[in-house]
Amino acid sequence: MKEKSGMSGRGILILVSILLTASLVAVAQVSSLPPTPPTPNIFNGTVLVDGEPAPVGTNVSAYIDGELRGSIVVTVEGRYGDNDSYLIVNGSEADIGKMITFKVDGVEVGSAIWQSFAVPRRLDLPQEPGDASEDINATALPTPEPFGETRAPTATPEERRETPAEEPGLPGFELVFAIAGLFAVTSLLKRRR
């Protein structure tokens, strides 16, 4: 009688089929992940209403193409946003270069350009009629600092192109290959016996 040694051709075919199927399923799931959204633009600064510091409870909102993209409520008189809570303006790749319009309690007071991979920016918002210009220059904030301190301005950093972090693969995907490797080693060891 012929002694059975190792895996038969049929067993190897089944193992290869399982590995190919697992690989195709993993690739299909990874390719269906949504793209990473761009980093939101974040702002803070002073805010005036009729030339006076805006009172606590004043609403500061940001719009792109007339659509609300972010808002914040003043919690410190005359200031919106702080080191812990900026005005976050969300956007997409299609919004790069578009104008962000800022409103204080519904009145348009300033603007800035939406940027991809933007750093925190300081933008002081006037609330007096005719005082808001079409192109208020928002200055980059090199590092957040408390409002009580004043430091000399530093150079604005050059625009950076950041590479998004590598997205993690499917959990357990490596496990499939480890198990397949164990099967292969086991079959080789059985053949040697």
Residue 132 has pLDDT above 90, yes or no: no
In a 10 Å sphere around its CB, with 0-12 CB exposed, 13-18 middle and 19+ buried, how is residue 102 labelled? buried
Domain contains 166:
no
Which DSSP symbol is given to 76? B
Beta carbons of 129 and 106 less than 8 angstroms apart? no
Domain contains 132:
yes
Q: For residues 7 and 19, give the distance between their C-alpha atoms in angstroms, rounded to a whole number.
A: 16
Domain contains 53:
yes
Residue 89 domain boundaries: 41-140
- The pLDDT value given to residue 168: 55
Residue 169 has pLDDT above 80, yes or no: no
Q: How many domains does the structure of the chain reveal? A: 1
Domain contains 99:
yes
Minimal CA–CA distance to 43: which of 75, 84, 80?
80
Domain contains 17:
no
Average pLDDT over residues 92-113: 94
Domain contains 3:
no
Say what the pTM is: 0.53
Beta carbons of 97 and 64 less than 8 angstroms apart? no
Output 50 or 193, whichever has higher pLDDT: 50
Domain contains 68:
yes
Task: Tell me the CATH number at 89.
Answer: 2.60.40
Beta carbons of 125 and 46 less than 8 angstroms apart? yes
Which element (helix H / strand E) includes 13? helix 9-31
Backbone angles phi, psi at 66, to 5 degrees: 80, 0
- The pLDDT value given to residue 84: 79
pLDDT tens track for 58-71: 999 999 999 999 99
Structure-block tokens of residue 69 = 């993209």
Domain contains 27:
no
Average pLDDT over residues 154-179: 56
